[in-house]
Amino acid sequence: MSTTITLKNIEIILAFLTLFSDKEAKLYDIQTEPLTLNPYCYSKEFDSFITSVYQENFVIDFDWTAWENEAHRFVTDPELLTLADISTLQKLFTTHVRKERFCSGHLAGMIENGHFLAIFNRLQAIHAALMLQNAHNNGRPKMIKQTSVFQGDITQLQVDAIVNAAKNSLLGGGGVDGAIHRAAGPELLAECRQLHGCATGEAKITKGYKLPAKWVIHTVGPIWYGGNQGEDEMLARCYRNSLTLAEQYQIKSIAFPAISTGVYGFPLERASRIAIAEVNKFLHSHKSLEQVIFVCFGQSAYDCYLKVVQELAES
């Protein structure tokens, strides 16, 4: 049986994404008849998805029972999927589909806990990366292969540094700023007090403390005033200055949130184009960074970033 995965295979599987992202989708029922041996009844749409998982080479031959403990790690810690490759996703699909044969309702549990959706999110990112690689191989190096898009919690990422969309005071706030301070602990605030604030467009660095990331790069994005107050250039400087700091501290992997797109009101698509362009420009001229992740908290931001990345790949 072939284990090769192509863009077409991935696109066919991704067509089922709405089954797992739509909160109104009903993928299974539980039969209450006392003599029912298999009480879980999956929808026709979900059965079609499982059929496609087989047909598109996502179920493969390997010792899946020996890999079950590894699969459990990905279920209990979805952030591990951030860097999972196609081979890992194949093993996960295989493990879950085959385990269902011996443990009725296993697939239902993977739906309910969001594991299938997390796999789809990673598959989307891999799809975008493959499109970028194809564009590069076709003589259209619009994007560097070290970039990826991820939907999730930036505070949980296992990277060298995460970027904080901070306020000028650097003393915490709402959104990603507050989340980073809460996850890092009070030591982060204490160090930030010693930095005496940060100008818009500039960047400063602290330790990560209780975060998985060793460093936090704090940058202050511009407030959107309609686009005629130099907002684009100030946002671009946030990315340039953060990347420059990363190089100075020999940081190899870094994750950016969608700076200024929250309460500061910067239009999301406009901001994503600036972010991607600045990162791409830096990676073309510097070799220090090995990985840059654009982290999107919500689905709309994730879709927007993927759209911009794919447009660059196809242009």
- Which of the residues are catalytic? 177
Which of 214, 205, 220, 223 is closest to 267 using CA atoms?
223
CB 45 within 8 A of CB 38: no
- Coil, helix or strand at residue 60: coil
Torsion angles phi and psi, residue 213, rounded to 5 = -75, 140
d(CA 287, CA 254): 14
Q: Compute the Cα dihedral for 228, 232, 235, 236 and give only its sign.
A: negative
- Coil, helix or strand at residue 215: strand
The length of the chain, given as a count of residues: 315
Ramachandran area for residue 175 (φ above 0: left; ψ -120 to 50: alpha; else beta): left
CB 144 within 8 A of CB 284: yes
CB 149 within 8 A of CB 258: no
- Coil, helix or strand at residue 309: helix
* Crossing angle (nearest 10°) for helices 44-55 and 7-14: 170
d(CA 263, CA 308): 22
* Crossing angle (nearest 10°) for helices 268-285 and 231-248: 40
